[in-house]
Amino acid sequence: MMTVKSERSAIVLGILCYLPFLYLAWLFFRINAIAVAIVTAVATTFLCFRYVIAVSRAFRFDADGLTIRLLRFSRHYRWDEITVRQESFADRITVSKPQYAGSVCFLTRKMHKPRALNPLIYCILLHPLGFAFVNYDWRYRAPEIYPVKREEFLQKCRAWQNGTPVAEQGGKDD
């Protein structure tokens, strides 16, 4: 069994990034742009809430499958319900480089994550509760979101899936 969590500082960073947008909404309110102020406040509150949910979960991996836990609520997925996909960001040409070299995504059959989209952004925007991912090979010092050691994690993942290999997808389209 293996449990993966984000650093607590990731939650604090998300809330601190929320404050300037809330201040911007207050400034709109002061200049009587009430509709813009309401939209700004609601949208940033919505995204901040989803970010906190996305980074404050805990993943438990074992031979039975994956359990996603948030506070006292948990959801268990068996290995046959999950598609495991390894994504590499090392050779991708993107607008902004992610802070890690790659990730392993755990997709249910209902989800269709595009490879070009960062797993954290996909999680925040579309599936903050049901989408699971772990990151490896951090490039610079920042709050680590679901960090794992790549080789150790993939070895355990293969063993839990009864020898089924993890599908690896690089940065180039097929």
What DSSP character marks residue 147?
B
Considering only CA atoms, give the Rg of the chain: 18
Q: Read off the amino acid at residue 158.
A: R
Rounded CA separation 129/137 (Å) = 24
Rounded CA separation 157/34 (Å) = 51
The pLDDT tens digits for 87-132 are 776 565 555 556 666 778 887 766 677 777 778 888 888 888 878 8
**Cβ neighbour number for residue 103 with a 10 Å cutoff:** 23
State the pTM of this model.
0.77
